Amino acid sequence: INDLALMLKNCPWTFSHYPLVPVIFSSRRYVAGGQCKSAAKLDGKVVIITGANTGIGKETARDLARRGARVIVACRDVAKGEAAASEIRAETGNQQVIVKKLDLANTKSIREFAENFLAEEKELHILINNAGVMLYPYSKTADGFEMHLGVNHLGHFLLTFLLLERLRQSAPARIVNVSSLAHHGGRIRFHDLHGDKSYNRGLAYCHSKLANVLFTRELARRLQGTKVTANSLHPGSVRSELVRHSSVMTWLWKVFSFFLKTPSEGAQTSVYCAVAEELDSVTGQYFSDCQPAYVSPRGRDDETAKKLWHVSCELLGIQWD
């Protein structure tokens, strides 16, 4: 024993020689953030996750597949979706991971996806509106919406509208909207929603993430008493492809990757909102690191939430009362 102690003492790899090692380990734990502790099983439950071919969505799909859910990987590139789904099927042994085409930048594709889903699936228990774009150079969706607003907000707004009746019929059911801390920098510029007068791609992202928070709030209010809940969340700063449209951000993400969550760590709050038993009747809330988080004053403005709802309906040509 004495020899062993002496050996360890002199070993160049012991913590006492490298005081930074425990610091590095604990900062990594800090970066990893909250973990979903629920052991809930999802056998027999049907889940849709948008943008589940990569990043946070893919890891959310993997977790829910492990819990036994039938997972619809809704993505714009079916080949990428198949690659992710076959990896998840092989790893989890769950063969019920299915890929369906959904391009949120095109309302025709959203309608086709919903039509197809409603024809094939009798139930829907969890809808995770996860897909997103960030720092997109100025561009418009097929329907002429500014890309961030179109994909991140309007696309998911329409998708939720088209699937809501199935969620109601399958209740208890949950809608999970992946927003961001970036919502703090956003505002709803009703006079220039599509950035025609002025455009900043960073701000456009923030505006769309604020729209996610406001949509969730108004949706939850309207769904009171239906046993369909709606919550939004910030996943943390996550090593994913979200920064792909900015070379500076891509470089920063690489250099500082140690300080970013892995996609699996970033999926924890989405999984928590989707399965945690203690959230059974919690609705209209915003989470981060698997706990309630601070929402910006603009994200709590019910008048703006109502106005955004009506404007979104007008833009999409739908009636949603």
Ligand X SMILES: NC(=O)C1=CN([C@@H]2O[C@H](COP(=O)(O)OP(=O)(O)OC[C@H]3O[C@@H](n4cnc5c(N)ncnc54)[C@H](OP(=O)(O)O)[C@@H]3O)[C@@H](O)[C@H]2O)C=CC1
CA 297/CA 211 separation, integer angstroms: 13
Phi-psi region of 319 (alpha: psi -120 to 50; beta: other; left: phi over 0): beta
Residue 130 contacts which entry, ligand RET, ligand X, none (Cβ below 5-8 A, type-dependent): ligand X
Window 161-190: contact mask with ligand X (x via CB under 6 A): -----------------x-x----------
Rounded (10°) CA dihedral 255, 206, 56, 268: 100
Residue nearest ligand X by beta-carbon distance: 55
| Cβ distance to ligand X smaller for residue 55 or 195 | 55
Q: Does 80 bind ligand X (CB under 6 A)?
A: yes
Q: Is 87 exposed, middle or buried (0-12, 13-18, 19+ CB in 10 A)?
A: middle
Residue 33 contacts which entry, ligand X, ligand RET, none (Cβ below 5-8 A, type-dependent): none
| Cβ distance to ligand RET smaller for residue 68 or 202 | 202
- Of 136, 138, 205, 286, catalytic: 205
Q: Kindly list the distances between the CA atom of residue 191 and the CA atoms of 134, 205, 215, 318, in Å, as whole numbers in the listed order.
A: 22, 17, 19, 21
- Stretch near ligand X under the rule CB under 6 A, chosen from 29-37, 214-222, 240-248, 281-289: 240-248
Q: Kindly list the distances between the CA atom of residue 91 and the CA atoms of 61, 152, 241, in Å, as whole numbers in the listed order.
A: 12, 30, 22
Binding footprint of ligand X, residue count (CB under 6 A): 30
The gap from C-alpha 147 to its chain's centroid, in whole angstroms, comes to 17
Q: Does 250 bind ligand RET (CB under 6 A)?
A: no
Q: Is the peptide bond between 12 and the residue preceding it cis, with omega within 30 degrees of 0?
A: no
- Stretch near ligand RET under the rule CB under 6 A, chosen from 79-87, 159-167, 218-226, 255-263: 255-263
Q: Return residues touching ligand X (CB under 6 A).
A: 50-51, 53-57, 75-77, 80, 102-105, 130-134, 151, 178, 180, 234-235, 237-238, 240-242
Instruction: Cite the active site residues.
Output: 205
